[in-house]
Structure 1
């Protein structure tokens, strides 16, 4: 651990960064990675968190935009990164859902079990995204 950093201050920083993901989906993956090391952060994790802070400072206008004139059609995209986590060999699912041209839902999440093929990982990503679309459809 870095001399000037305690685990509690690292947790506070990551918590604040997590809050930003509600309007800054571009930060989601990086912050999810930082979130995995809340118990025992190292100086490398602190450097990565500082890198995210510098990125936010460099691009303060990035974020979600909701135009007034937009259709109410749902569109979704999903993908997976087979064996995306080198530590656990689990794949990572990514998805985003649009209402018209506005991004309303996004996710990057490690899959719960190890997929035996890229096809299986993609299928799990598609199934997860389909559930999300159904939930949003019922909500609307």
Structure 2
């Protein structure tokens, strides 16, 4: 809960606890991969750690950032010479990237243009 009246917040928490089974997580720092930080201007949401985890899991931990994640109007084609891709890992990566858009709208175009129903060279 967010507010500036701590007494009222405690009352609401107690009322909710009586009606439902709830757990007070205290001051929230991370929630569903999103870091929540309070500043004098409000709350700041960040998925930096989540992003770094995606890069590490996909073997791209040492990659450098790019100002333009993907060329606009790029046409992607399947290359028969490429090695097969594990479909479940591909789907997991795309799902994680879609979730990452919550705090990174700048990657929305790249994430939505890249995936298809099946990865290129997919072997299910």
| TM, length-normalised to structure 2 | 0.29
Based on CA coordinates, which of the two structures has the bigger radius of gyration?
2
| TM, length-normalised to structure 1 | 0.26
Structure with the largest fraction of strand: 1
Structure with the largest fraction of helix: 1
